[in-house]
């Protein structure tokens, strides 16, 4: 028995011997096809680790890229899925106990989050004041918007910023940070309800592309072009963004969700004229992948948490209360939550409640 077992709160939190987790058993961008719920032993944390009982886990568009094996071709199934979770510490290793104790509430951005319990290195854990799903929105979605705009956008007051999929998990943050920088913000969305939500965030011009022609609207209302685009859709929306750039415009690519469900994972674009278009406008396209910017992560998280605490940041969470089969509760509903997001139904960040709060922990 490892020393860390002495730090497992078996009585206080009644840790079972087994748990459920989601395992990728077959490489596929169809998440429902790729994963299965399995029973496994609850892992024991190593010396510098925490054992976290997950209360909420976050759904990301990239979950299906991961299940399709697109991030690391050398990783073969079976492997665990899920990038972010929040919960309480129920066990920990000896050296981890110098910073944490049983009952602490933490969030983390790592792998294997789609499980009832996850072992997380203490140094990768983020202490949070409470197990609220809003804190989960900051780990990937919030941090992506914060760091991408800070590092790559060169935002200046008075510039026009276009956010695609603006009412989604990361779009909601891009809208708010661009407004904080004194910019005029345009946001695309797919319903009037989402347009109303964007207005409430301070978005100057929400465009519901199901009722308005996006290309025509941008040409007519922004003839000078768009200074910065925060782009996550790809395909035809990416092409439209390129064509809409102002002189010295910057297009930040944080993803291309429209292609993730396809076999290649990449939506087709007509790229032949791209160099000419960029030169004509002295414009640039900049890619952003959060793991390349981990040196900015701590500051981003600290800053966003403070803003949220002070009521200066909206962290909209969608737990599926309006979904056809109801709220996303339990690991079995992760698949449903992924489908819900890909159907474009979510308003804010999609979050699954893994387990109800434990009665014994007053912090919850």
Count Cβ atoms below 10 Å from residue 104 Cβ, excluding itself: 18
Q: SS3 for 128? A: coil
Compute the C-alpha angle 204/197/211, nearest 5°.
Answer: 75
Q: In this predicted structure, what is the pLDDT of residue 73?
A: 87
Q: Tokens 């071709």 correspond to what residue?
A: 73
Each of the 364 residues of the chain gets a pLDDT tens digit; together they read 444 454 565 445 578 999 999 999 999 999 999 999 999 999 999 999 999 999 999 999 999 999 999 998 898 999 999 999 999 999 999 999 999 999 999 999 988 999 999 999 999 999 999 999 999 999 999 999 999 999 999 999 999 999 999 999 999 999 999 999 999 999 999 999 999 999 999 999 999 999 999 999 999 999 999 999 999 999 999 999 999 999 999 999 999 999 999 999 999 999 999 999 999 999 999 999 999 999 999 999 999 999 999 999 999 999 999 999 999 999 999 999 999 999 999 999 999 999 877 644 434 4
N residues, the chain? 364
Q: Tokens 């110098």 correspond to what residue?
A: 98
In 3D space, the residue among 219, 235, 228 whose CA is nearest the CA of residue 174 turns out to be: 228
Written as one string, the DSSP assignment of 247-284 is EEEEEEE---HHHHTSSSS------TTHHHHHHHHT-E
* Rounded-to-integer distance, Cα 76 and Cα 86, Å: 27
On whether the CB atoms of residues 49 and 4 are closer than 8 A, the answer is yes
Residues 6+ apart with CB under 8 A from 267: 234, 235, 236, 238, 256, 258, 259
Q: In this predicted structure, what is the pLDDT of residue 9?
A: 53
């Amino acid at each position: 028995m490892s020393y860390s077992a002495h730090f497992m709160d078996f009585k206080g939190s009644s840790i079972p011997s087994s748990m459920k987790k989601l395992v990728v058993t077959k490489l596929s961008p169809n998440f429902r096809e790729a994963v299965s719920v399995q029973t496994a032993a609850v892992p024991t944390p190593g010396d510098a680790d925490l054992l976290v009982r997950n209360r909420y886990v976050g759904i990301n568009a990239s979950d299906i890229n991961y299940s399709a094996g697109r991030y690391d071709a050398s990783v073969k199934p079976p492997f665990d899925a899920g990038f972010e979770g929040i919960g309480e510490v129920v066990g920990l290793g000896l050296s981890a106990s110098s910073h944490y104790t049983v009952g602490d509430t933490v969030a983390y951005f790592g792998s294997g989050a789609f499980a009832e319990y996850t072992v997380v290195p203490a140094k990768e854990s983020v202490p949070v004041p409470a197990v609220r799903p809003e804190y989960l929105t900051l780990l990937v979605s919030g941090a992506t918007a914060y760091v991408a705009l800070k590092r790559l956008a060169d935002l200046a007051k008075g510039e026009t910023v276009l956010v695609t999929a603006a009412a989604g998990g990361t779009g909601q943050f891009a809208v708010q940070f661009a407004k904080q920088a004194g910019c005029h913000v345009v946001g695309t969305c797919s319903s009037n309800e989402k347009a109303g939500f964007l207005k409430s965030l301070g978005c100057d011009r929400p465009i519901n592309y199901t009722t308005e022609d996006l290309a025509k609207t941008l040409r007519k209302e922004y003839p000078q072009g768009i200074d910065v685009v925060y782009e996550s859709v790809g395909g035809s929306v990416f092409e439209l963004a390129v064509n809409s750039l102002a002189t010295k415009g910057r297009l930040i690519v944080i993803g291309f969700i429209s292609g993730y469900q396809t076999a290649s994972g990449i939506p087709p674009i007509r790229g032949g004229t791209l160099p000419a278009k960029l030169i004509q406008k002295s414009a640039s396209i900049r890619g952003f992948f959060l793991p390349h910017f981990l040196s900015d992560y701590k500051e981003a998280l600290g800053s966003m948490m403070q803003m949220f605490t002070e009521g200066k940041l909206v962290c909209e969470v969608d737990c599926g209360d309006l979904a056809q089969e109801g709220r996303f509760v339990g690991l079995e509903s992760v698949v449903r939550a992924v489908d819900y997001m890909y159907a474009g139904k979510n308003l804010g960040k999609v979050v699954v409640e893994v387990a109800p709060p434990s009665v014994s922990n007053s912090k919850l």
